[in-house]
Amino acid sequence: MSSPLALQAIGVIRTARTHWEKTPVQSSLNPDEPGQLHVYEPFVPGLAGIEDFDNLWLLCWLGDGNWSPTEPPPMTQVPFLLQREQRSVGIFATRGPRRVNPIGLSLVRLDTVEGGVITFRGVDMVDGTLVIDIKPYVTRFDRPGDEPRCGWFDGVDLPAAATPDDLAH
Amino acid sequence: MSSPLALQAIGVIRTARTHWEKTPVQSSLNPDEPGQLHVYEPFVPGLAGIEDFDNLWLLCWLGDGNWSPTEPPPMTQVPFLLQREQRSVGIFATRGPRRVNPIGLSLVRLDTVEGGVITFRGVDMVDGTLVIDIKPYVTRFDRPGDEPRCGWFDGVDLPAAATPDDLAH
């Protein structure tokens, strides 16, 4: 814990998904499936007021046993959504999990908050995923004023509930 | 670097702002001011394709000399935008910088990418802020389908370019 850029988990995700290959790649593509975030006890008072928001950003830690802070992943990769075309793009032009810092950004819909348990909809996380931050979705901050260009995403199908396995074939 | 949740910076922000007290609190409240992100050399190939997006999420490291991973901040705080009311809310219902993990999420507008230098608009960072991730804004992933409730933000003024100093008086 001597690094100035060290994190701690604030909670853990509980979902019905146990394999990332069979987990939808984005919350918005799987908006109805429920999951839970169990916030660790010391941080539960930090949830005060969160029940008045319809949507939350969950920042999740996507590092696994293969990830090392000193060995960055390839800087260009074929995203799950471009598997069929086998087209590579820079990792900072993707939302994939293999990043220099393996942080995922998921927009979920808040259902209930009971004690330290947040029930939400929009599962794109495997069971056991660690959460490092929760932020409220604020329309004034988080919505561009126009219809922005979204790069290669504008040219691909985004099939409902697509998983990496679905997209590989 | 032995912690499994250790990060490394991928670049550094250059802006005309040198004091956080005099820096706008959100990008969207200061949409025209330009800034630059200088991406460190090993990560520059990861920018391939990013020029086709109008908006980017910048995940910034907001920890300073006062921050320690083992001493969390108070779980309820008075946000800058509620200074006049002196109203406290849980930190996970705010977008403020004093978080368990001091990560900021800023939506900026991409102007140009030249080599490893991204010029953007929407400054809410002081000069020298470290960046830990860049993600493309993808409307299909990042925009709720309706007009969501945004908690206490729905009841406060969000003055253009407001800084903590402005909001304290």
Q: Can you tell me the ipTM of this complex? A: 0.94
- Tell me, what amino acid is at B2? S
| More confident site: A134 or B146 | A134
Closest-CA distance of chain A to residue B75, Å: 4
Judging contacts by C-beta atoms under 8 Å, the chain B residues touching residue A67 are 4
Closest-CA distance of chain B to residue A69, Å: 6
In this predicted model, what pLDDT tens digit does every residue of B87-125 receive, in sequence order? Answer: 999 999 999 999 999 999 999 999 999 999 999 999 999
CA A13 to chain centre: 11
Judging contacts by C-beta atoms under 8 Å, the chain B residues touching residue A99 are 133
How many helices (H) and strands (E) would you count in chain B?
2, 8
Residue A3 pLDDT > 70: no
pLDDT at site B70: 74
Residue B150's DSSP bridge partners are A53
Please list, in sequence order, all residues whose beta carbon lies within 8 angstroms of the beta carbon of residue A71, skipping any fewer than 6 positions away.
Answer: none
pLDDT at site A142: 97
Closest-CA distance of chain B to residue A38, Å: 14
| More confident site: B168 or A93 | A93
For residue B68, name the pLDDT band (cuts at 50, 70, 90). confident
Whose tokens are 């990496």? That residue is A164
Going from the C-alpha of A117 to that of each of A134, B60, B71, B152, the distances in angstroms are 13, 27, 23, 21
For residue A4, name the pLDDT band (cuts at 50, 70, 90). low
Judging contacts by C-beta atoms under 8 Å, the chain B residues touching residue A26 are 140-141
Q: Are A31 and A162 in contact (CB under 8 A)?
A: no
Averaged pLDDT of chain A = 92
Whose tokens are 């590092």? That residue is A63
Is residue B36 within 8 angstroms of chain A, CB to CB? no
Residue A2 pLDDT > 50: no
Averaged pLDDT of chain B = 92
CA atoms within 13 A on the CB side of B152: 20
